[in-house]
Amino acid sequence: MTHRNYRYYDFIVAAFVTVLLCSNLIGAGKAAEVDLPLVGHVVFGAGILFFPISYFFGDILTEVYGYAHDRRAVWCGFGALLFAAIMSTVVIALTPAPGEYNTALQSGLEVVFGNTWRIIAGSMLAFWSGSFVNSFVLAKLKIWTEGRHLWMRTIGSTAVGELVDSSLFYVIAFYGIWPTEQVISVAITQYILKTSWEILATPLTYAVVNFLKRKENEDYFDRETNFTPFKTSL
């Protein structure tokens, strides 16, 4: 691969990592519910507000810059999640200063971040596996279709990647904490909602991809790419 300096790549990676951290530390631990017309009572993980956006960025990175550039972004996200898990553990382990406020704050931190290691373990494995599957499928489909039918490629790759992600994350992170039927229900609901989000975001995907291809003068095809996930170099 010829190494180039891209104008927008670093900004997309930064946005990707930010969304990933928000989805796994803010939204993932909460099971929410909503009543939908014709559907009824639906339970879902609040991370749905954030996480599909990371797949949106992953699709953009692979489509415009290629698998290797998306692989580097995935490892950046992986490192950020690991650092967040370590620092969460350290902060919770510190003895709080005397006072009613600090005592209440410590309890709140333990409730919110006390399961951080389990959430992070499930998230890291699910995110890592799902993201690479998504990127691999998208890159291969781009070659097979000769760059046509972007909508089919992004939706298809996301459907496969999200299946891997949702199958792993909720079992690892919440089995034994949430009731089993809730774990299964939320995992299925998350998969459907995340895939649906990708379908709804298709017009935005087209707009951003076309903008970046034009501005970066790049439309990479992974014909000679080494698809191993175990490297960070381009």
Tell me: the pLDDT tens digits for 170-201? Answer: 888 888 888 888 888 878 887 888 888 889 99
User: What ranges do the domains of the chain cover?
Assistant: 9-216
Residues 216, 2: Cα–Cα separation, whole Å: 14
Structural fold of domain 9-216: Arp2/3 complex 21 kDa subunit ARPC3 (1.10.1760)
pLDDT of residue 1 exceeding 60, the answer is no
> Is the separation of the CB atoms in 44 and 34 below 8 Å?
yes
What token pair was written down for 181?
């039927």
Tell me: the pLDDT tens digits for 199-228? Answer: 999 999 999 999 999 999 999 999 999 999
pLDDT > 70 in the chain, percent: 92
| Rounded alpha-carbon distances, angstroms, from residue 37 to 31, 40, 87, 186, 188 | 20, 6, 42, 18, 19
Q: Which of 75-79, 91-95, 173-177 has the highest mean pLDDT?
A: 75-79
Per-residue pLDDT, 68: 95
| Residue 42 DSSP code | E
Per-residue pLDDT, 32: 74
Per-residue pLDDT, 233: 81
Tell me: the pLDDT tens digits for 111-157? Answer: 777 666 777 788 789 989 999 999 999 999 999 999 999 999 999 99
Residues 17, 57: Cα–Cα separation, whole Å: 10
